[in-house]
Copies of this chain bind each other. A is one copy, B any other.
Amino acid sequence: MMPLICEIVAVGTELLLGSIANTDAQDISRGLAEAGIHCYYHTTVGDNPARLREALRIARERADIIITTGGLGPTCDDLTKQTVCEAFGVPLELHPGTWERILTFFRRIGKPVTENNKQQAMVPVGGMVFENEWGTAPGCGFERGGLSVFLLPGPPKECRPMFENCLMPVLRSFSGKTIASRNIQIFGMGESAVEDKLRPLMERSQNPTLAPYAKEGEVTLRVTASAETREEAYALIDPMVKTVKTLLGSVIYGVDAASLEGVVLDLLNRNNVRLAAAESCTGGMVSSRLTGVPGASKRFVGGVVAYAREVKENILGVERAVIDEYGMVSEQVALGMASGVCRVTGAELGLGITGLAGPGGDGSDTPVGTVCLALFDARDGSSHTLTRNFGDERGRIRTMASLTALDMVRRHLTPSRVFLDGGVSSVV
């Protein structure tokens, strides 16, 4: 069977003015690749019927599937549905379920329904309707002379879930193949170092394939395989995941894990210990990441954002003499913060982070980007400290310091044998 070809047509003047990036095309393209459907062109047009017709004329000559995004809303700019259906000679009809939902919504907020709102409830006769659980305008689709056309809403928060939940099953059934993947998550090794280590493996692997993606201080390796069933695809993937674990070892923090902070909270649960954080240069980022995970309150008690020197001294009890002798950015102060936050919160584990995020220096000879980190374990009084330099960009310094602190907790709570034999642990 020849692979199917899809073209994505985004509709929205805001895209042509550069107000937003076309992330819908990215989301949909990823799904098409996963479903084994080729995509040769993305096109973006404004809220202009003539130019949309022109884009559709070109797309129908070179694609089996057209997916449009945007222009399904209630305002007069939103002309995608009318224009597409006219172009393909497909009449519209009122969809009672959607119309009822819109009426109920307006009754609830106590506002009158306008003719424009009714437009949202019109759908192609004989086509599919995708109920919009994430917004107002439903998506829809139809088939005409061997060409399949699907219309999705523009806002990424509506487009993405509707694409994944409603359209992806249809696309998978078109291609008859299943593509599955696992993400191996890495912290503490850069993208090029990962590539260097894995190049021979990446070059000889066809199915599954192995591709690295860098994201904010982390690297994700995606292992993707294509097969008749999901089970067969995973049977191809899992031995590759095992090989990668053997090659990379302890820099791997998870496989298909939600996030590094999620892995840390999971380890805290398994070890039945609570964590607190004393943050200076990261200013609450570690706490904010941890508390972003539902249920964090069971294991993360909170902490102190010790931005000013007085806070370090008065709340955390870091000794003035230690600060004077070693400097504000020192492993000694980081450790004083870590043990101090355990003392004042009663947590078993404490993190201390002090550093210079710039742009300016602090008057000492400590270079911008220097961060000292400490992890204190109140159960036995043990500690780890380390010093890193994360460059000269404030945002990156703070992010890298936050991730490094979380990774210290992960390493502290992970039995080392898990990584020495490169095998599968209960966490990784």
Contact = CB atoms under 8 A, between A and B. Distances in A.
Interface string A390-415: 00001100100000000000000000
A297 B307 contact: yes
A207 interface: no
A294 B359 CA distance: 7
A19 interface: yes
Contact of A305 (B46, B274, B303, B360): B303
B42 A15 contact: yes
A46 to B, nearest CB: 6
A302 interface: yes
A14 B359 CA distance: 34
Contacts of A32: 18
A344 B304 CA distance: 11
Interface stretch (A164-172, A247-255, A310-318): A310-318
A333 to B, nearest CB: 14
A7 to B, nearest CB: 10
B44 A25 contact: yes
B16 A20 contact: no
Contacts of A83: none
A305 B283 contact: no
A15 B29 contact: yes
Nearest to A40: B51
A242 interface: no
A283 B288 contact: yes
A192 to B, nearest CB: 10
A397 to B, nearest CB: 11
Contact of A306 (B23, B277, B302): B302
Interface string A263-299: 0000000000010110111111111101110101100
A39 B16 CA distance: 6
Given A23-B21, A30-B18, A308 B302 contact: yes
A32 B16 CA distance: 9
Nearest to A285: B288
Contacts of A277: 305
A238 interface: no
Contacts of A308: 274, 297, 301-302, 345
A330 interface: no
A393 B14 CA distance: 27
Contact of A22 (B19, B25, B395): B25
Contacts of A41: 16, 43-45, 51, 55
A237 interface: no
A28 interface: yes
A27 B18 contact: yes
Contacts of A291: 281-284, 305, 307, 398
Contacts of A19: 30, 211, 213
B310 A301 contact: yes
B288 A315 contact: no
A427 interface: no
A205 interface: no
A144 to B, nearest CB: 23
Contact of A26 (B21, B276, B303, B310): B21
A58 interface: yes
A304 B304 contact: yes
Contacts of A15: 25-26, 29, 42
* Nearest 8 interchain pairs by C-beta: A283-B291, A284-B284, A284-B287, A18-B29, A18-B30, A302-B307, A42-B44, A301-B308
8 contacts: A22-B42, A25-B44, A43-B44, A291-B307, A301-B307, A302-B304, A303-B304, A305-B305
Given A15-B26, A283-B287, A294-B358, 7 more contacts: A15-B42, A18-B33, A20-B26, A283-B292, A287-B288, A292-B394, A302-B305
